[in-house]
C-alpha cells in the first residue's frame, strides 16, 4: 500500500482548472473562442454596413446609432466574458476547503483520495484518463480532476513508479487516452 500526504493551494487548482478545461472540456473552450469570433464578426459587419445603419437610424430620428450599437455589442460581449469568469471562479472555490491536507492511498481496488471532510474512491475502471502537468500527475474521473503534486513523492523514481502502476491498472480506453501523456515515463525521457 502507498500513502501520500500533500496540500494544493487554490491558485494551483485554479490553474489546473484552466488547463484541464482546455484539454478535457474542449467544447467550453471553443465556446469562449466562438464568443470572441462572434464579437469580431459583429464588428466587421457593423463596420461594413455603418453608413446604411446610420442612415436608417437617422431616418427614425436616432442620431449616433452606429456608436450606440457598437457600445451595446461591446457591452454584451464584455458582460458575458466577465460573468463567465466569475461564475467559474466561484464554482471552483465552492467545491472544496483548499487548506486541508490530502491523503492518497493506492491499493488493489483503486485509489482513495481523502481529507478530514471528504473521501473519494476511484476504482481502477473509474479512472478515465491520467494526465501529466508540469508539477504533478492528474487522475481524471468524468469531470473530476485529482492533482497529485510532484512534491508529494519522496523522489522522481517514486513518482514514475506511481505513474507506471496506475497506468497498468487502467482500462483499455483510459490507457489509450493517457498513453501520449505518460509515454515519457516509460521511455525514460522525462
pLDDT at 149: 95
pLDDT tens digits, 53-98: 888 888 888 888 888 888 999 999 999 888 777 766 665 565 556 7
Domain that holds residue 149: 2-8+99-187
- The reply to whether 23 and 61 lie within a common domain is yes
Residue 142: band (very low, low, confident or very high) from pLDDT cuts 50, 70, 90: confident
Residue 113 pLDDT exceeds 70: yes
Residue 109 pLDDT exceeds 60: yes
pLDDT at 136: 94
pLDDT at 129: 94
Q: 36, 185 in Cβ contact below 8 A?
A: no
Indicate the residue among 95, 115, 139 that finishes a domain: 95
- The reply to whether 64 and 103 lie within a common domain is no
CATH number, domain of 159, equals 2.30.29
Residue 106: band (very low, low, confident or very high) from pLDDT cuts 50, 70, 90: very high
This model's pTM is above 0.75? no
pLDDT tens digits, 147-188: 999 999 999 999 999 999 999 999 999 999 999 989 888 887
When divided into structural domains, the chain yields a total of 2
What's the mean per-residue pLDDT of the chain?
A: 86
- The reply to whether 71 and 151 lie within a common domain is no
In this prediction, residues 20-27 reach a mean pLDDT of: 63
- The reply to whether 134 and 65 lie within a common domain is no
Indicate the residue among 70, 95, 120 that finishes a domain: 95
- The reply to whether 103 and 178 lie within a common domain is yes
Indicate the residue among 46, 67, 95 that finishes a domain: 95
Amino acid at each position: 500500500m502507498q500513502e501520500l500526504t500533500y496540500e494544493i493551494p487554490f491558485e494551483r487548482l485554479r490553474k489546473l482548472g484552466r488547463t484541464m478545461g482546455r484539454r478535457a472540456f474542449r467544447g467550453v473552450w471553443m465556446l469562449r473562442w466562438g464568443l470572441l469570433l462572434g464579437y469580431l464578426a459583429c464588428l466587421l459587419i457593423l463596420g461594413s454596413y455603418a453608413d446604411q445603419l446610420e442612415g436608417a437610424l437617422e431616418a427614425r430620428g436616432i442620431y449616433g446609432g452606429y456608436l450606440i450599437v457598437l457600445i451595446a455589442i461591446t457591452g454584451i460581449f464584455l458582460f458575458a466574458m466577465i460573468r463567465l469568469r466569475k461564475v467559474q471562479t466561484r464554482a471552483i472555490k465552492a467545491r472544496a476547503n483548499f487548506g486541508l491536507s490530502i491523503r492518497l492511498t493506492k491499493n488493489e481496488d483503486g485509489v482513495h483520495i481523502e481529507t478530514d471532510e471528504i473521501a473519494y474512491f476511484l476504482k481502477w475502471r473509474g479512472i478515465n484518463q491520467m494526465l501529466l502537468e508540469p508539477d504533478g500527475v492528474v487522475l481524471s474521473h468524468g469531470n473530476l480532476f485529482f492533482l497529485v503534486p510532484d512534491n508529494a513523492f519522496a523522489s522522481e523514481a517514486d513518482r514514475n513508479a506511481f505513474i507506471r502502476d496506475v497506468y497498468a491498472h487502467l482500462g483499455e480506453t483510459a490507457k489509450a487516452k493517457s498513453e501520449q501523456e505518460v509515454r515519457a515515463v516509460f521511455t525514460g525521457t522525462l
